[in-house]
């Protein structure tokens, strides 16, 4: 594991070298990070094939190689656990004798119970079909396949069927779904810092979640390029920049686990902080950072209007984005529990471009990363003014 992590690290960091880089080189580094984290080795950075653990080790290796210190003083990892339902084995579904392709034609509902057999379907609603069995089967026809992990197991098996597959009125279903519930899935936040030159006990914080959805069976995984390999790439870009350019305040970088299953990592951190939360001057959370042709949206803009005005001023002067949209308070990413503890924080996400989200099509090769350099500059200039 350590040897392979080192190889992956070198493959991405050789792009930068040791000197101050131009923004084009930073984009190349982001591209390398996204390509790496979306590779089959990390299996969607989730709950099978050690995907999330491998991603955590990779991020910690980048921190270490760039000279960042563990935030705790001892380890880059802040371990914690939570329950999750997983599908590490066989996942097969046929409708009316036609075998379907997982991810493309259907998804297994994340809360689903294991099941095996052939069943006759009864229509219950315009888009719902049910098979009565020891473990009931529910077929739901949907316009788009979107998936998320679940922290519990239901007493049924749910199959979300894309209604463009030609199965408008399915009669029978044949399935073999293997499922494993993990009551205490072990994972870690990855936390590092660069000590401030004048005010080491005050902090500027950059966060991004590194987990995604993982895989479904042996053949399908969700790459999670925009969500959120792009945010991790930006975080690591910033970590390398600040390692070469220490600031007067201590810079903190936290890669969270468990965001996709309910902000588990950030909640745990705010309940078990590794530095005083009251000493955080500002936190920026980056998630969905791979596009930007239609600008960016800033969550908590209305909560911190003065800071938002600073962002807008920087954007206007530097001509970075076509628009900086304001949004209010929202529990939609890892900034939320910090805000609830009184920490000033923005969640910034990019807009426009690809529409892939929580599906198999959120891939590195189709992610433009066309405005990540601008987002990098916006954050650096914002922190400089604090």
pLDDT (average), residues 187-205: 98
Whether 23 shows a pLDDT value over 90: the answer reads: no
Beta-carbon contacts of residue 340 (< 8 Å; ≥ 6 apart): 270
Q: To 10 degrees, what angle do helices 230-244 and 372-384 make?
A: 50
pLDDT (average), residues 322-340: 98
Asked if residue 318 and residue 232 are part of one domain, the reply reads yes
Asked if residue 276 and residue 378 are part of one domain, the reply reads yes
Work out the number of other CB atoms within 10 angstroms of the CB of residue 289: 29
Q: Where residue 356 falls among pLDDT bands split at 50, 70, 90?
A: very high
Asked whether the CA dihedral 164, 169, 173, 179 is positive or negative, the reply is positive
Q: What's the pLDDT score for residue 12?
A: 46
pLDDT (average), residues 376-385: 97
Asked if residue 275 and residue 144 are part of one domain, the reply reads no
Given 120, 145, 177, the domain boundary residue is 177
pLDDT (average), residues 236-252: 97
Q: What's the pLDDT score for residue 323?
A: 97
pLDDT (average), residues 132-142: 96
Given 177, 205, 232, the domain boundary residue is 177
Whether 3 shows a pLDDT value over 50: the answer reads: no
Tell me what the pLDDT averaged over the chain comes to: 93
Whether 7 shows a pLDDT value over 60: the answer reads: no
Asked if residue 103 and residue 11 are part of one domain, the reply reads no
Report the domain count for the chain: 2
Q: What's the pLDDT score for residue 166?
A: 60
CA distance 191 to 73: 10
Asked if residue 310 and residue 198 are part of one domain, the reply reads yes
Asked if residue 376 and residue 263 are part of one domain, the reply reads yes
Percent of the chain having pLDDT more than 90? 90
Give the domain range for residue 96.
90-177
Q: Name the least confident of 49-53, 178-182, 223-227, 353-357.
A: 353-357
Q: Where residue 10 falls among pLDDT bands split at 50, 70, 90?
A: very low
Q: Where residue 289 falls among pLDDT bands split at 50, 70, 90?
A: very high
Q: Where residue 25 falls among pLDDT bands split at 50, 70, 90?
A: low
Structure token pair of residue 153:
């197991």
Where do we find the tokens 């503890």?
341
Residue 225 has φ and ψ, to the nearest 5°, of: -70, -55
Nearest to 204 by CA among 284, 269, 267: 284
Q: What's the pLDDT score for residue 21?
A: 47
Q: Where residue 13 falls among pLDDT bands split at 50, 70, 90?
A: very low
Percent of the chain having pLDDT more than 70? 93
CATH number, domain of 8, equals: 3.40.630.10
Asked if residue 23 and residue 126 are part of one domain, the reply reads no
Beta-carbon contacts of residue 37 (< 8 Å; ≥ 6 apart): 45, 55, 58, 210, 224, 229, 232, 233
Asked if residue 289 and residue 233 are part of one domain, the reply reads yes
Asked if residue 233 and residue 353 are part of one domain, the reply reads yes
> Burial level of 306, CB count in 10 A (0-12/13-18/19+)?
exposed
Whether 83 shows a pLDDT value over 60: the answer reads: yes
Structure token pair of residue 369:
């990363």
Asked if residue 108 and residue 34 are part of one domain, the reply reads no
pLDDT digits over 40-66, tens only? Answer: 999 999 999 999 999 999 999 999 999
Given 159, 177, 195, the domain boundary residue is 177
Q: What's the pLDDT score for residue 5?
A: 47
Q: What's the pLDDT score for residue 165?
A: 59
pLDDT digits over 145-192, tens only? Answer: 999 999 999 999 999 999 875 657 899 999 999 999 999 999 999 999
CA distances 319 to 314, 316, 375, 380, Å, are 8, 5, 11, 15
CA distance 52 to 72: 21
Work out the number of other CB atoms within 10 angstroms of the CB of residue 331: 12
Whether 11 shows a pLDDT value over 70: the answer reads: no
**Model confidence, pTM:** 0.94
pLDDT (average), residues 1-23: 46
Asked if residue 159 and residue 242 are part of one domain, the reply reads no
Decide: helix, strand or coil at residue 15.
Answer: coil
């Amino acid at each position: 594991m350590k040897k392979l992590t080192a190889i992956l690290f070198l493959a991405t960091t050789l792009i930068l070298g040791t000197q101050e880089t131009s923004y084009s080189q930073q984009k190349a580094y982001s591209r390398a990070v996204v390509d790496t984290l979306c590779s089959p080795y990390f299996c969607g950075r989730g709950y099978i094939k050690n995907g999330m653990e491998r991603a955590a080790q990779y991020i910690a290796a980048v921190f270490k190689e760039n000279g960042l210190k563990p935030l705790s003083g001892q380890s880059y990892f802040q371990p914690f656990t939570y329950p999750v339902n997983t599908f590490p084995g066989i996942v097969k579904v046929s409708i009316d004798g036609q075998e379907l392709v997982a991810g493309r034609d259907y998804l297994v509902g994340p809360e689903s119970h294991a099941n095996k057999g052939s069943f006759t379907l009864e229509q219950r609603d315009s888009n719902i079909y049910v098979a009565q069995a020891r473990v009931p089967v529910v077929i739901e026809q949907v316009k788009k396949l979107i998936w998320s992990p679940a922290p519990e197991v239901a007493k049924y098996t749910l199959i979300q069927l894309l209604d463009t597959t030609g199965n408008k009125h399915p009669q029978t279903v044949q399935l073999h779904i293997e499922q494993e519930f993990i009551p205490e899935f072990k994972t870690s936040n990855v936390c590092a810092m660069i000590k401030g030159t004048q005010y080491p006990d005050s902090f500027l914080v950059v966060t991004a979640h590194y987990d995604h959805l993982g895989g479904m069976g042996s053949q399908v995984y969700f790459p999670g390029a925009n969500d959120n390999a792009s945010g991790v790439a930006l975080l690591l870009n910033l970590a390398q920049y600040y390692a070469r350019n220490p600031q007067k305040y201590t810079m903190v970088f936290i890669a969270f686990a468990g965001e996709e299953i309910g902000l588990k990592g950030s909640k745990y951190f705010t309940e078990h902080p590794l530095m005083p939360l009251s000493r955080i001057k500002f936190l920026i959370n980056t998630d969905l950072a791979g596009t930007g042709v239609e600008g960016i949206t800033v969550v908590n803009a209305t909560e911190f209007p003065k800071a938002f005005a600073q962002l807008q001023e920087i954007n206007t002067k530097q001509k970075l984005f076509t628009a900086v949209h304001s949004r209010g308070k929202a529990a939609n990413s890892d900034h939320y529990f910090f805000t609830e503890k009184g920490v000033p924080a923005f969640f910034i996400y990019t807009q426009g471009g690809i529409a892939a989200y929580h599906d198999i099509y959120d891939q590195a090769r189709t992610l433009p990363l066309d405005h990540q350099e601008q987002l990098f500059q916006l954050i650096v200039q914002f922190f400089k003014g604090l």
